[in-house]
Structure 1
Amino acid sequence: MAANGKTPNRRLTALMVETGVSNKGLASRMREASVRSNGERIATTHTTIAKYLSGIISQPGQRSCDVLISVLTELTGRDLIPADVGYPQVSVSTPQGLSNSDEGFESPLVIAARLQQISSTDVDDGVLDIIDFALTDILLRYELEGPRRLAPEVFALRRRIEVLRKQTRHPLQLHRLYVLAAKLSGTLGYMAVNRGRFGHARIYCREAFGIASLIDDSGLQGWIRGTESFCAYYVGDFKQAADLARDGVRYAGNGPQSVRLYSNGLARALGKLGDADGVEEVIAVAMSLSTMHSPSEGLTPALTFDSYGAARLAANAATAFLSAGKFDRTLDYGQDVEKLVNESDSVWSRSLVRLDMATALIRSSRPDVEQAMQLGHEALMASDDRPIRSVWQRAHELGAVAKSVKVPEVKDYSDALREWSTRAKEFSALAAP
């Protein structure tokens, strides 16, 4: 019992949670239902519903209870009685329009009311526009602010979508809600990889893929497979990363997501598997597809639902050739994209391209250790305030490669890396692969 002596109506609360209807939404539906039934109109408000829930109103009148049960019956799809909504003492009537006819078929008024409810919605298109804008804004801010700061905003949007989905019946709006839900869950999966939370990344991607499958959005399914491949790559399961990227291509075809799947997914995984010829072939395909989709000349964001641009593709090619042992190709691609990376807002790309070039310089036939360590220091400084898993991992890979060279510059980099790593843990939950 509540402190004020009133008993909260837990049955009604449970039904409202089940259906996702708000106090305001339930009150509105009840007013509309009372009009459609041609009976006495009721003036229920959200305040009335709040009093029902808290127990301040211990029992509604017969007419209000009739309408309440009618509305909740439609929302749940179950035949409810007064006890189901927490009012076992109320005797409800069966006015025309709220019950079946004597002939065993529903009254035309009931059918008309259901049709009206199917074609109506509690969600304004403007609300969905705002959520769509909010997601786009997060993607644009992502590399400036990072996953640690922005993930809570994505959580909030995802929860809001779930509430709206339960309230919505309009097919077009439901489709749009499912697209947003899949994108938000996929975004959380991508963010989880950047924070080293690989288990969460897999779960979010599984949820996103399931939602995208419900609406048969093959482009979105391809994007999610690309994110799963991205996760497998940083876990160290390169065969799975390649398999997921290939499966993503099956969904994406030659569409916009194919460039990312070939370059970020398949080529990098094949490089780690030592398939240099495969990397050459896949990067060539990605380059061809890139021209089809008219990519931006600048550095497109890493977290985007649009196609990768040529500069982003080249940065991934540098990484793939580095793993495949084609160090000259890594330096060529790195130098090609370096200017665009430096002009962009992407501190992570500045770090990653420098780290790839530094590793290639050490492992090439004519090593330049001094230049490599200079690039390594620059990479650490570029993303010092918001490091992510990929930067952390490649910075340590450079450190491991450099250890074989006994020169002061390497020791300086190792000391800087140790210090940087301590600070990085404050920003990223770095799970071991």
Structure 2
Amino acid sequence: MTFGSELRHYRQDAGMSLAELACRVHMTRAHIHNVETGRRAPSSDLAAAADVALAACGRLVAEFDREDRERQRQAATRKTLAASLATSRDLMALADLELDELQAGVEETAVDYLGTAPGPMLLRADSLRRDALARLRDYRHGPHERADLYVSAGRLSGILAYAALDLGDSAAALEHARAAGRCAQYAGDTELLMWVRGTQSLISRFAGDYGIALDYVRDGLQYAGDVPGTGEARLLCGEVQCLANLGDSRAANRTLRLAEQARERVQRPDSLTGLFEFSETKQRYYAASSLIWLNGGDDARTAATEAEAAIASWQQMPPEQRSLDDERLCHIYLATAQVQLGEVEAAAESMAPVLALPVEDQISWINKRAHRVGSILAAPRYHQSSAAVDLREAIAALGA
């Protein structure tokens, strides 16, 4: 419920028209209508006056206070996002960076990101990166530490790219990723550069630019070879997502097999864990998230199998190793495959953990992918299914 819907509820319960309430609270009828429909934010004066006029016993004031706190929290996050973008622009112009004790903070942040909301991670990563820049400007670095500091700053920029994307700002995410890529190039770190190209592809896929996303993947793959970690497998899984979204089932499945072979060839682990590693569980997640964009049937069955395996794997991990947002998204991918297979009741069960999430945990990806399930359920074949109607309505309420 929102303040506007609560206001309408109490007004209608009181049998009062918009004009009558407007007269009671000394505001215009149009203003009351705009508040009820969400076009205008309410004021504390309106909340207090309407609470008295409608005998709401403080409930309208309480709802206003809750929404006002949320508005202030969102404003603070937007302010931090803008400040972090300014730092990315500074970083792009720098020719020298340093290595310092930030490395421990980078490693900790990369791991913590998996189980923490993006807002706090944005704050932490931005603070760490600002410190790196301050140390540079004060010349507090050793003569041979430049490349390693570039890597630290690049990883922090990559974390900021993820945070911005999870908050729904793909343009900011792409700018942070560009800064990360520049740092990787300055440092000569091919492993980080491959990770950045995979992240730039991810951002482009979020925006629906699959041709550009493929270009980033193929640029990143040119660096594959004697490089530590799972960067090649991650890039190939990104290619699978592009091909599936473009409707090419055969090529998508073929590239999935290439990604599995790339994982088998890995000789050295990723240099950093957490956000910068691509686990086997994450690879299963990618397979599920890709195949649901095809035409159901065998692809949907494989997607469901991969999603179930990924969820089971995450649930067996220690809390600090679980990627909570990815695990929640995997429930959505499982539900998508089940709906494609006509298993609506099973899909409702799979969606249950997502539908129970508080608003602050509903990152942009969750809302975007969940509403696709709702759009599939709107097809004529589900019109007579009460389970489909109930699930579609529950999904529509996400983010409200």
Normalising to structure 1: TM-score of the pair? 0.62
Q: Pick from 122, 130, 150 the counterpart of residue 178 of structure 1.
A: 150
**CA-to-aligned-CA distance 1:221-270 (integer Å, 9 cap, x gap):** 1111111101000101111112211111112446321111111x111111
For 1:315, the equivalent position in structure 2 comes to: 285
**CA-to-aligned-CA distance 1:272-296 (integer Å, 9 cap, x gap):** 0111122112111111121233799
- How high is the sequence identity, in percent, across the aligned residues? 23
Counterpart amino acid of residue 305 in structure 2: D
Q: Pick from 109, 114, 138 the counterpart of residue 138 of structure 1.
A: 109
> Which segments of 5 or more consecutive residues in structure 2 lack a partner in the other structure?
1-97
Following superposition, the deviation at residue 342 of structure 1 comes to 2.5
Relative distance call for 1:215 and 1:140 in structure 2 (3 A) is closer
For 1:111, the equivalent position in structure 2 comes to: none
Q: How do 1:330-409 and structure 2 match up within 5 A?
A: 330-344=303-317, 345-364=322-341, 367-381=342-356, 385-404=360-379, 405-406=382-383, 407-409=385-387
Relative distance call for 1:333 and 1:272 in structure 2 (3 A) is same
Normalising to structure 2: TM-score of the pair? 0.67
Kept in 2, the 8 Å contact 1:145–1:386? The answer is: no
Moved more, 341-350 or 377-386: 377-386
> Is 1:162 equivalent to 2:133 in the alignment?
yes
Q: How do 1:279-298 and structure 2 match up within 5 A?
A: 279-293=252-266
Distance 1:180 1:414 in 2: 44
Counterpart amino acid of residue 261 in structure 1: L
**RMSD between superposed Cα atoms in Å:** 2.3
Larger radius of gyration: 1
Counterpart amino acid of residue 262 in structure 1: L
Following superposition, the deviation at residue 144 of structure 1 comes to 2.1
Kept in 2, the 8 Å contact 1:274–1:323? The answer is: yes
Counterpart amino acid of residue 153 in structure 1: R
Kept in 2, the 8 Å contact 1:347–1:382? The answer is: no
Q: How do 1:80-159 and structure 2 match up within 5 A?
A: 128-129=100-101, 131-159=102-130
For 2:276, the equivalent position in structure 1 comes to: 305
**CA-to-aligned-CA distance 1:89-146 (integer Å, 9 cap, x gap):** xxxxxxxxxxxxxxxxxxxxxxxxxxxxxxxxxx8x7xx23x1111111122213221
Following superposition, the deviation at residue 398 of structure 1 comes to 0.5
Following superposition, the deviation at residue 180 of structure 1 comes to 0.9
Kept in 1, the 8 Å contact 2:377–2:389? The answer is: no
> Which segments of 5 or more consecutive residues in structure 1 lack a partner in the other structure?
1-122, 423-433
Kept in 1, the 8 Å contact 2:359–2:399? The answer is: no
Kept in 1, the 8 Å contact 2:150–2:187? The answer is: yes
Higher-helix-fraction structure: 2
Kept in 2, the 8 Å contact 1:232–1:241? The answer is: yes
Distance 1:355 1:194 in 2: 16
**CA-to-aligned-CA distance 1:354-412 (integer Å, 9 cap, x gap):** 21121111212xx1111112212233325755122221111011111011212222232
For 2:391, the equivalent position in structure 1 comes to: 413
For 2:251, the equivalent position in structure 1 comes to: 278
For 1:73, the equivalent position in structure 2 comes to: none
